[in-house]
Structure 1
Amino acid sequence: MDISSALNTSLYGLQKSSQGITQNSADIASKSLPEQTPAQTSGQAPAQQNSQANQVEPKTSITDDLTGLLENRNLASANIKALETENEVLGSLIDIKV
């Protein structure tokens, strides 16, 4: 097994889980803010307000976002453990070689 390949895989997984944590956190934060009503939006024409009101966005619940946050935390933890193991293996190989 190539050590650099394992290292790259773990780093990529850690990066993806970090991005997932950031996205889930932003989703949770945006859902905890009060929604704006058309009267609160300033500087928009009534036609723009109506078109925005008619747009349907896929909604996920805060529960889904919290579950995703926990999943990404567990993935990050698993990738960190893999990096620690790779570090130990590499250290052992260097000790054996020397």
Structure 2
Amino acid sequence: MSFSVANSVNSALLSGTFGLQQASKGITQASFDIANRAAHPRDTTDVLADAAKQQLRQPRDLLSGLGNKDNLTGNLLSLQNNLNYAQASSKVIGVAKDLVGNLIDDIA
């Protein structure tokens, strides 16, 4: 039984750590894209031209454009999703830490 618990704790720690690393990469990328967008503002003519093009497109085309890296809304959603992923991963690590602590207390 201890072998099973040890593997489960290791798996939880690895999953939590990997999750935090991936979330950190996602947060970094989304933040970079947002900052890059702010550093290179578009002029009013380009914004209005893009707005006119979007109004003429089919709804299907608009929805498929949500994944575009130039989309501020997509970057903000990515930032929030990665934040949630990081919080969930840190909870996994916390539960594994508590489990190890309880096991040590039970052994002692």
Q: Could you state the TM-score of these two structures normalised by the residue count of structure 2? A: 0.66
Aligned pairs for 1:1-80 within 5 A? 1=5, 2=7, 3-34=9-40, 59-80=69-90
Cα RMSD over matched residues? 1.7
Count residues with an aligned counterpart: 77
CA distance 1:72–1:59, shift in 2 (3 Å) = closer
**Structure 2 Cα separation of the partners of residues 69 and 30 of structure 1:** 14
Cα deviation, 1:34-70, whole Å, max 9, x if unaligned, reads 269xxxxxxxxxxxxxxxxxxxxx6431010000000
**Structure 2 Cα separation of the partners of residues 74 and 23 of structure 1:** 15
**Structure 2 Cα separation of the partners of residues 95 and 63 of structure 1:** 48
Cα deviation, 1:15-49, whole Å, max 9, x if unaligned, reads 0000000000000011112269xxxxxxxxxxxxx
* Unmatched tracts of structure 1, length 5 or more: 37-57
* Unmatched tracts of structure 2, length 5 or more: 43-67
**Structure 2 Cα separation of the partners of residues 72 and 22 of structure 1:** 10
Moved over 3 A (4+): none
Whose helix proportion is higher, 1 or 2?
Answer: 2
- Percent same amino acid among aligned pairs? 36
1:86 is aligned to 96
Could you tell me whether the CA contact under 8 Å between 2:16 and 2:93 is conserved in 1? Answer: yes
